[in-house]
Amino acid sequence: MKEIWNIRPYQKEDADELFTMMKKEPDWEEYCNDENKQKYSKALLTSITYLLFENEKICAYARCREDDGFGMYVYDLLVDADCRGKNYGRYLMEQACKDFLDQTVYVMSDVDPYYEKQGYQKEGTIFIVKPQ
């Protein structure tokens, strides 16, 4: 069966499925507790948040902020463990690049080896995303 994926903006109705995916990752659990979940839910809605679906299941997401023409900053990127190795993280980064052609896309990273593997240029403590 051919896998079908697509990217679309986050909607409030996606919260339960997204938080279920996030809870599987130890480093993301803090976003999912009661107090932080409320805060993060608001951040998802007030950010530019992309969801990548594979056969109607959320497999990855990126949460970004546009800085008034000074750049697009990717704060969060997560690919479900069951969906890794399919370039979904790269596709989300490239979507941000397509949507903000006139701006540099930066990644706020705590997983530098991933972004280095993607070939992104490191600048100080952030990476500049360049589509291939």
Say if residues 122 and 99 touch (Cβ distance below 8 Å).
Answer: no
Say if residues 53 and 59 touch (Cβ distance below 8 Å).
Answer: yes
For the domain spanning 5-129, the CATH number is: 3.40.630.30
Strand order in the sheet with 121-123: 5-9, 48-54, 57-66, 72-79, 105-108, 126-129, 121-123
**Separation CA 94–CA 122 (nearest Å):** 17
pLDDT, tens digit, for every residue of 4-41?
A: 999 999 999 999 999 999 999 988 888 998 889 999 99
pLDDT confidence of residue 90: 92
- Residue ranges of domains in the chain: 5-129
pLDDT, tens digit, for every residue of 59-118?
A: 999 999 999 999 999 999 999 999 999 999 999 999 999 999 999 988 876 666 666 777
